Amino acid sequence: MFRPQFLFIASSLLAVLMHNVTAGTDDYSVQKVTEGVFYHQGVHQDATAENIGAIANVGFIIGERCVAVIDSGGSYKEGELLYQALREQTDKPVCYVINTHVHPDHMLGNAAFSPEEPVFVGHEKLPAAMAAREDFFERAFSETLGKAYDGAEFIPPSQTVAVGEPVTLDLGNRELLLTAYTTAHTDHDLTVYDKQSETLWTGDLLFIDRIPALDGSINGWINNLEDLKTETVSYVVPGHGPAGSEQWQQGLEKQLSYLKTIREQIRQIIFDFGTIDDATSKVGVEMKDEWLLFEDYHRRNVTAAFVELEWE
């Protein structure tokens, strides 16, 4: 694994690197993070038919031999648009589609890449997570997304990554290091590290600007974020929010502060024999102006954390 150290890039250089690149349509574009690394920044909304579920960061890395897609989009339609954007940049084949976790905004576009016959890659627990949620996701998101959903398929990984056993994929003189994590945001989070550019794709281990959503373990998430702080990276592509070389450190510290504050306040309520209703009405309310979509997700975060922490 890469070792502790932060590389700080001047903001003027970042402005040059992070320029918009027009994709195949007027309203869907990718940005160049650094040489050979592109992403589409999702909007800070919940999925709707109007935004075609394009609410998460998705993108691709180009090697000398082939291309790896990292998360495929929040609908089949977004997958198609991402594929068009990729083809604007290269004619090399797509050899891998890597899903960082099961949430629909990151993997409903998988089938758009099937004609390329890529290897689908994910955490060792992703197949079970996908099977358990497929029926619900299909009902909910076919209705929410409408025609943008049509064509979506739940394609489990044919290659998996085990916790403690990182996997290296070679795109042709460009190696990607895939690392599986213990339970944090989910129980099957995966990161992708491009060794050539020192770019880390965090999936939803890291949210910037948009409030994080807990679907795993608050203790595990805090622990894994503390580990991420020590990594040597030049650029980070978070699951949500802007990618780059500087803002991610502040974003990570802000997210850690949010999760630690929730944990501390919940523990105090439990110590005082308080209830989950006490927690959802009081915990973390002072942070409501610090996060987008706070009202939509904060109470759910507190509820999930309370259930975990009351059994400590």
User: Cβ(168)–Cβ(175) under 8 Å?
Assistant: yes
In 137-223, where do the E strands start and end?
Answer: 159-161, 167-170, 175-180, 190-194, 199-207
Distance CA(116)–CA(107), nearest Å, equals 16
Predicted model pTM? 0.91
From first to last of its 312 residues, the chain has per-residue pLDDT tens of 433 333 333 333 333 333 333 333 458 999 999 999 999 999 999 999 999 999 999 999 999 999 999 999 999 999 999 999 999 999 999 999 999 999 999 999 999 999 999 999 999 999 999 999 999 999 999 999 999 999 999 999 999 999 999 999 999 999 999 999 999 999 999 999 999 999 999 999 999 999 999 999 999 999 999 999 998 899 999 999 999 998 899 999 999 999 999 999 999 999 999 999 999 999 999 999 999 999 999 999 999 999 999 998
Paired strand residues for 107: none
Compute the chain's Rg from CA coordinates.
Answer: 19
Going through the chain in order, the beta strands assigned E by DSSP cover: 20-22, 29-34, 37-40, 58-62, 67-70, 94-98, 119-123, 159-161, 167-170, 175-180, 190-194, 199-207, 235-240
